Every structure is written in C-alpha cells, then in structure tokens.
Chain A
Amino acid sequence: MTVQANDQGLSLPASSLASLRPVLEWLARRAEPVVISLGAVIAGLALFSLFILAIGKSPVTLFQLMYTGGFGSWFSVQNSLSRAAPLLLTALCVALPARLGLVIIGGEGAVVLGGVAAAAAAMPFVGSVPPLLLFIVMATAAMLVGAVWIGFAGFLRHYRGVNETISSLLLAYIAIALMNQFVEGVLRDPASLNKPSTKPLPAQYMMGDIPGMDVHWGLVIGVLACILSWVLIEITSYGFAARIAGGNVRAAQIQGLPVGRLIVGFTGLAGSFAGLAGMIEVAAVQGAANGSLAAGYGYTGILVAFLARHNPLAIIPVAILLGGIEASGGLIQRRMGLPDATVLVLQGTLFIVILFCETFYGRFRIFNPDLWKRS
C-alpha cells in the first residue's frame, strides 16, 4: 500500500520535471561558465585574504575599503566607470583574437601608438574644424595605427609562423620606444618641460562627459564596441567562421574558410579597438600624448578578457568590476598603509586561479544534461 502511495506521489512531479527538462538543460549548460567563474573568483579572493592575513592586516577591512572605494558612493561608481572605459577596449583586443585561438598580449603597444597617432592627427585641424569632426579624424588615425600594429602580429602568425604572444609583446616594447621618440622629438610641445608631451588640445576640443555624469564618453564608446563585437562573433557568418578556425584550423582550411584573412582581420579589428582606447585617453583624459599612455591598460585588459572568457558582453561587467578594484587602490593605500601594488597582487592571484579553474569544465555531471539519468 505504502509503495503504491509512493508511486502515486512521485509520478506527478516526475511528469512535470519531464516537461521542465528542456528549460533545465538550457539552464545547466548556461550555468557552467557562470558557476565556475564565480567559484574561481571566490577562491581567488580567499587565497588573497590568506596573503593579507599573513602580513598581519585584516582582509575584512580590505574588502570593505575595496567596496567603498569602488562602488560605495556615486562618486566612486563614476570613478570606477571612468577606469573601466579603456579596459573595455583593451579587453576586446585580447578577446577577439582569442576566439580564433590566438593569445595576443601586446594591446599596450596599440594603446600607446594610437594615442600618439591621435594627437599627431589632431594638430593640423585644431581650431579649423568642429570638435566632432576632429574626434573622427583622431579616432580614424588611432584605429588605423592600432590595426596595423596588432594586425602585423596576426599576419606574422599566419604567414610566417611566428608565435603571436611573443611578437605582440615585443611590438609593445617597440611601440613604447617609438612613443618616447615622438613625444620627446618631433611632436614635442616646447612648453612641456618636466613631462614631455605633445601640444595639448584646447579645452573646447576635449571630449566631454556623458550628460548628468562625471564619466567621459569613452565609456559609451567602449560599451558600444563590446556590443558590436558580440554581434560580430555570435551572429555574423564571419564570427562563425572565426569560431570554427579557433576550434580547429585544419577543419576550417578544409572547409575552404579564408583563415589567413580571418586572422589578419580579427587581429586588425582588435588592434583598432586598443588604438581607440589610446585616442580616448588623449581626447578625454590627458589632452595630449605623453608617457602616461603606457599606464598598463593593455595588461589589465588581458585579465578582463580571460575573466570574461572572451565573451564581449561579459567583458562589460568584468571591466567595471576591475575598474572598481583599481579605483579603490588609493583608498587602500591611505587607510591601511598597504603599497599600491596590492591591487596587482590581487589581480595576479585572481588571474592564476581563474585559469586553473578551466580544468573544471566538463567535470561536473550536473552541468551536462547528456549524462543525467533518464527519468
């Protein structure tokens, strides 16, 4: 009797489970990257807490300060968003080639040269054209230079077999030397004594803030670039071809896909985004090209892209999160007496743990509906 009752009791939820099954399967597949990434971030924060405890400080205070400094007030949120703007673009510089299976880490070079190109292109037009046109000229110059710089690494990869990770990084060092040469040489404003710079843009030619906020337009440009990249990768046939080539180059070649053009095109686009980040630094923040362009946006962008698993839409929240962590650096330094490199240690720890957690993909049955027991 009891057995029958149990059967009766079970049959109803079982049938409703069966009707829910497609939803659950979809959820399970979608949940895997989210759960593993969140788990990795929590594990990384835990490891970092141990480190902070080991040097005799309180991780609780640290995380509280991090929240206050990054997102605690409208002021700090705006600060975080401003810092996130260049990271959106430099992360795309890593994420787009990564979908083709390339690890490009020299975005810093495209940022720096993009900034110099933007400043140089602006010089003949300042005072004679409306600001919007000037911005278009600057952005075009910066994107072209960035595209050539990173596209060259892609070109070398496909046509010469040169490892793109190493070549892009060498190109970044060369770019910084070139920037120094230009900024201290032909492009130098004689009025800039202590810090060699190009001629500063007049105030009316500076890219202003988004209305109602203390955040410059670079944030909007960065978000738009992320959305466009997502459409390119997930919806267009170019993105589909790139994902095939990223999964298996031989298969893509056998299918007749133009792998070489895809690689050069995607690395070029990636570089143009990083160049655009340099232009925004010049037009919205610095007002001139100088050594501050090499502020490490290209390197933080690598972390953002890997944390977002090279998904352009996921880059948006991750960049804001890391922008917030960077924004809180000063507060942590002042209140806790920790060096400014604290943020670097946290970023490095998170980066290692996140990459390590790649190994957990496909290990949990709960995320793979094909392995669920047939009910």
Chain B
Amino acid sequence: MDDSGIGIWGVPLAIFSGAIRVSTPFIFVSLGETITERSGRINLGLEGTLVFGAMTAYAVAVMTGSPALGVLAAMAAGAVFGTIHGWICKWPKVNDIAIGIAMMQFGLGLAFFLGKSFIQPVAPKLPSIPLGGWASSPQVQAALNINVLFFIGAALAVFLWWAFKNTRVGLILRVVGDSTDAARAMGIHPDRIRLLATAVGGALAAIGGAYLSLYYPGSWNEGISSGQGLMAVALVIFARWNPIGCFLAALLFGGAGALGPALQSVGVTQGYYLFYAAPYVLTLAILIATSSPTRSLAGAPGALSLTK
C-alpha cells in the first residue's frame, strides 16, 4: 500500500546504514591511534586533530571546489599536529597524556578560530558509490549509498594488519612499542619512530574529520564532533591494537550511535537523549569488562604508558 514505508524494519536498516555512515570517522581515527600506540605513545589529542581536520577540509573544499584537495589538506594539517605532539613528548618528564589533553584544547580552539568564516558557505561533498540500484525501496537505496572513504578505511585496516606482521616498518614499529631499550640496541631511534607514528596517526585522524565535514553530517560547525576522537582511543584498547578489530569495533560504535536517530525516525521519543549516550555507555562498559587491575592487557604494546 504505502510503498515507501517499510515500518518496523526501518530500525535495523537505519542502524545498518548508520553503522556504515557513522563508523567511517571511527575507522580512521582508531587506525591512526593504533599506529601511534603501537609505537609506544598515546595521543589523546586526536579529538582536536579531528576537528581541525574537519575545518581544514571544509575550508579548502570551499576555496578550491575540490573535496579531494580538502582531504589532502586535512591530512597535512593532521600530520603537523601529530609532529608537534611527537616532538614535545620526546623530551624527558613530559607526560604524553597531559600533552594530548592540551593539544586537544589547542586544536579545538584553533579550528573554531580559523573556521569562523566558513560556517556559512557550502562545500562540495565527497562522492559516494550507489550500490543499491537493484533495490526498489528508496530506503534500501539510501542505505547502500556508501562513501568512498569507507572502502578506503576498510582496505587500510586489512593493509595495516598485514603490514604490522609482514613488513620491516611494521616490525620496527612493534619493537619500539614493546621495548625502548631493545629498539635502541638494534640501532633504532625510538623518538624518531614515535614522532613519525604520531604524525601518521594525526594525518589519519584528520581524514576522519574531513569525512565529518565533507560527507556526513556534511557541514562545518563548532559542534561537528561528538567526541569521536576520544572514543577512538577507548576503541583501540577494546580492539586490542589490532587494525581489523578496530574496523569491526568502529562498525559496532557506528551502530550504537545510529540507535537514537533510528528509533526517533519510527516515533520512539521516550528517552531520546539517553540513546545518544549509547556509544559512550558502550565504550565504558567494554573498558570495564576488558580491563584488569592485575595483569596488563593482552596485545598491549609494552612501552605504552596507558596500561601501566
């Protein structure tokens, strides 16, 4: 009768499409943080990097008309943020967690400062691939309209999983992360590797930000991030520093984040705001369930300050 309404089935469909749409920033930020943490550093400032990346991508896309250039500019900005973090943390007595908090505040402030004039203009969006041409229902078509960055993120997760195990760079990264002394004995400069790893992590986190401002929700404003950069840090712990695990966990978080809007769309308004808290509650529950006071986490890089 009503061919556009699919009733209660709209909820799982909305969660599925939401999982894919919402998870993409999580994928990039958590892969970036995995690289950084595998080298034995933790960068809590990725929230600031993400928002600054969102602003940079949007501003460059507005000025040049090319969303791809926007993403590249965001990556460059993210790498600069990572380099600053990595450089400061190489000095003795400097706490990498505290520097992360400071970089987060700095990144947010700078993004709001420079992005003030870009709230009004409209930027071109990133392209997406319509995979739902076979379906008759417009909801299904919309759900299968998947952004390019999602596929790049998925491929990157598999590549990193392979590269950590099978490449020279991956081995060096893991040695530095597990034992600073062993790395020094091998003639590797731990601080240099960590600086590079933090810079790459920052660049990836900024792609996540670019996705937010150039695709979904697809605008730049000061409330663009709802803490994705921070939740990604917890997500990496949950995924046990495994890139494939990060990808799957990001999908789970995306689904949790899509729960509130999905239920609202079918008329459930009770406890609307509580569903917005679902990703945070899920993160916390996972952290509580997987942590232990007596042993360090399986798979944790030995030199990481987070799990000590």
CB <8 Å contact, A162 and B274: no
Per-residue A-contact encoding for B41-57, CB less than 8 Å = 1, 0 else = 00010000000000000
Q: Which residue of A lies closest to B110 (CB)?
A: A345
CB <8 Å contact, B283 and A170: yes
CB <8 Å contact, A355 and B291: no
21 pairs, CB–CB < 8 Å, chain A vs chain B:
A158-B293, A162-B291, A163-B287, A163-B291, A171-B284, A177-B280, A185-B273, A303-B105, A341-B110, A341-B116, A344-B110, A345-B110, A345-B113, A347-B105, A349-B106, A351-B106, A352-B84, A352-B88, A356-B88, A359-B91, A359-B93
Near B by CB (< 8 A), chain A positions 168-194 give 169-171, 173-174, 177-178, 180-181, 184-185
CB <8 Å contact, B280 and A347: no
Q: How far is the CB of A245 from chain B (nearest CB, A)?
A: 15
Q: Which A residues contact B (CB, under 8 angstroms)?
A: 103, 105, 156, 158-163, 165-167, 169-171, 173-174, 177-178, 180-181, 184-185, 299, 302-303, 306, 338-339, 341-349, 351-352, 354-356, 358-359, 361-362
Q: Complex: how many Å from CA A166 to CA B99?
A: 14
Number of interface residues, chain B, beta carbon within 8 A? 48
Q: Complex: how many Å from CA A237 to CA B230?
A: 37
- Is B122 among interface residues, defined by CB-CB distance under 8 A? no
Beyond known contacts A163-B287, A166-B230: 19 more, CB 8 A cutoff: A103-B95, A160-B288, A163-B306, A170-B234, A173-B227, A174-B280, A174-B281, A174-B284, A177-B276, A181-B272, A181-B273, A302-B105, A303-B102, A339-B116, A344-B105, A345-B113, A347-B105, A347-B109, A351-B106
Q: Complex: how many Å from CA A343 to CA B272?
A: 34
Q: Do A166 and B234 form a contact, CB below 8 Å, given A159-B293, A348-B106, A355-B99?
A: yes
Contacts of A341 on B, CB cut-off 8 Å?
Answer: 109-110, 112-113, 116
CB <8 Å contact, B44 and A348: no
Q: Complex: how many Å from CA A354 to CA B230?
A: 23
Q: How far is the CB of A337 from chain B (nearest CB, A)?
A: 10
Contacts of A344 on B, CB cut-off 8 Å?
Answer: 105, 108-110, 112-113
CB <8 Å contact, A356 and B94: yes
CB <8 Å contact, B280 and A302: no
Q: Complex: how many Å from CA A173 to CA B278?
A: 10
Contacts of B103 on A, CB cut-off 8 Å?
Answer: 348, 352
CB <8 Å contact, A177 and B293: no
Contacts of B108 on A, CB cut-off 8 Å?
Answer: 344, 348
CB <8 Å contact, B234 and A359: no
- Is B231 among interface residues, defined by CB-CB distance under 8 A? yes
CB <8 Å contact, A180 and B93: no
Contacts of A161 on B, CB cut-off 8 Å?
Answer: 291-294, 307
* Other-chain contact of B102, A181, A343, A352 (Cβ < 8 Å): A352
- Is B187 among interface residues, defined by CB-CB distance under 8 A? no
Per-residue A-contact encoding for B251-273, CB less than 8 Å = 1, 0 else = 00000000000000000000111
CB <8 Å contact, B227 and A348: no
- Is B233 among interface residues, defined by CB-CB distance under 8 A? yes
Q: Which residue of A lies closest to B305 (CB)?
A: A163
Q: Which residue of B lies closest to A105 (CB)?
A: B101
* Other-chain contact of B97, A165, A167, A351 (Cβ < 8 Å): A165
Q: Which residue of A lies closest to B285 (CB)?
A: A170
